[in-house]
Amino acid sequence: MSSYPNMLVVNQGLDLISESIAENKALIFTKVKLGDGTLSPGQDIATMTDLINPMMTVGLSAGTQMSNGQAKLRFSVDNANLDTGFFAREVAIFAKVGNDGIEQLYAYTNGRNYVDYIPDKTNPIDAQIIDVYVIIGNATNVEISIDTSAYMSIEDLNDHNNSTEAHANLLSGTSFGQSVIEHLLGSALASFFDAVSTDSVFSKLLKLALEAAGLRYSMGTNGYICLGSLFGYLILQWGTGSIPSTNGVGDAAVITLPIEFSYSSSYRVYITPHLGYTGNNAISATVFDVSNAYNHTNDIHVKRAPANTTILFNWFAIGY
């Protein structure tokens, strides 16, 4: 788990506070940058004007001006568009004064070697929601530039619903937690894949709720759906396979499941002829082993009886 020192308002940030007060203009927080730069011995953070090595820019999803001379800013981090993985040592807040102001580095922290690695997009991770607190001093007019493309988190909705300025009765009687996740799942599973393929607000909320419940999926010729905690982590998997005609009687194909089942003895695999395949012996392909003989808990072994006949088959597995 990453560990960072408190955010330090740099000299530029202090100037922005002074400018905001002197000109009676809003201090506007605009974005967050992450980087993997390493501080040099004795380097003065206060004089910095940018990250040492920026790697990612993140929009703000929420923010609150507090009564103790601080502001709470919220953002989320995922790697959906990240081409190069990095150690997230640097975290920096950017701000400006007034809508026509120049965006500048406001506050900075560096976790040095006590940080997590963010892999590139080929190894997807769950979005991490992060709150940071920054000093705003005597600045009384503070705004947060919200990234409209950012996901709204459950925490954002709870904060909104608990606010005295929230829309009256908008979520009256609803706990936006487990019960909402259950309601969303119950009403949306039938049209899930259509719903999540859009870019609507509902789609984003639905994705967030389902991910919070542990639902994962990968669609394709070989794919899976993990239904998450609400359904006992039931997993459905499917794919295709073949046993070449060069194999002898009783030889097998080894099919590696897209994801592992937690218990190798708790799942079942079913074999059917491949769609459009007309071979007379297609149905002769049968599962004969679901053990971890290949040192994996996610291998299935399929054999066929006749020799000199290529067997094409579909497989379907269910378990947890």
Is pLDDT at 160 greater than 70 in this prediction? no
Q: Is pLDDT at 162 greater than 60 in this prediction?
A: no
pLDDT per position as a tens digit, 2-27: 789 989 999 999 999 999 999 999 99
Which residues 6+ apart lie within 8 Å of 220 measured at CB? none
pLDDT band at 90 (very low <50, low <70, confident <90, very high): very high
Report the number of secondary-structure helices (H) and strands (E) in the chain. Answer: 5, 18
Res. 107: pLDDT tops 90:
yes
* Higher pLDDT among residues 268 and 56, named by residue: 56
pLDDT at 200: 58
Cα–Cα nearest to 219, from 191, 193, 189: 193
- 104 pLDDT more than 90: yes
> Could you report the per-residue pLDDT of 30-43, keeping only the tens digit for each?
999 999 999 999 99
Q: What are the boundaries of each domain within the chain?
A: 8-149, 151-213, 235-319
Task: Name the percent of the chain lying above pLDDT 90.
Answer: 32
Average pLDDT score over residue span 176-185: 40
Confidence class of residue 315 from pLDDT cuts 50, 70 and 90?
A: confident
Distance CA 176, CA 53 (A): 38
Residue 15 has what pLDDT?
A: 94
Q: What is the mean pLDDT of residues 183-207?
A: 52
